[in-house]
Amino acid sequence: MNIAVFASGSGTNFQALIDRVKDGYIPARIALLVSDNKDAYAVERAQKAGIETFILSPKGFKSREAYDKEIIKKLKSKEVGLVALAGFMRLISGHFAKEYKNKILNIHPALLPAFKGTHGVRDAIRYGVKVTGPTVHFVDEELDHGPIVLQDAVSVSEDDTEESLRNKVHRKEYEVYPKAVKLFVEGKLKIEGRRVRIIE
């Protein structure tokens, strides 16, 4: 199966996926990195790993859908079977979500449905939760809303800062995201309404 990873920043989750494909844990190929930021460190990671990069700035597109349609053309040309969002800082359009229904995964740094949006770690620590952690979920037309595949808990200590908690959550992300991608690639995820059943 060909995977396309979408990233806008440093691409640490992208690197975790690269590493687990390379060591054979994920039986698939990362065929493409898609980024909206030519200066993202993820682009350098892709170059080092010999992965093709598709950089597309949203400037000049009249709508999110027009932008996404251009990306979809590229994905079709690479026969992509899974889209893995890894710090992609753009909301995908409803058109994209429908085109790749149940074939888009995202990693979110909080235990959904709590603390949706771009500041999951900051919001969790400000709220004073004792437990947080990453969520891998399917992507649908709503923000951070699709069926949950995997979650893992991280304890929040009294002396945690936003940075220290982010580091703890990230370390868990690098475990759960490759695991979820592996399960998808192996055909072991079955969506039943809002529930995702893991087929052993």
Q: Active-site residue numbers?
A: 108
Buried b (16+ CB within 10 A) or exposed e, 69-102: eebbeebeebebbbbbbbbbebebbebbbebbeb
Alpha carbon distance 19, 49 (integer Å): 9
Count of CB atoms within 10 A of residue 153's CB? Answer: 12
Residue 62 CA: distances (Å) to CA of 54, 69, 91, 98, 169 = 20, 12, 15, 20, 36
3-state helix, strand, coil in the chain (%, to 5): 35, 25, 40
Distance CA 191, CA 200 (A): 14
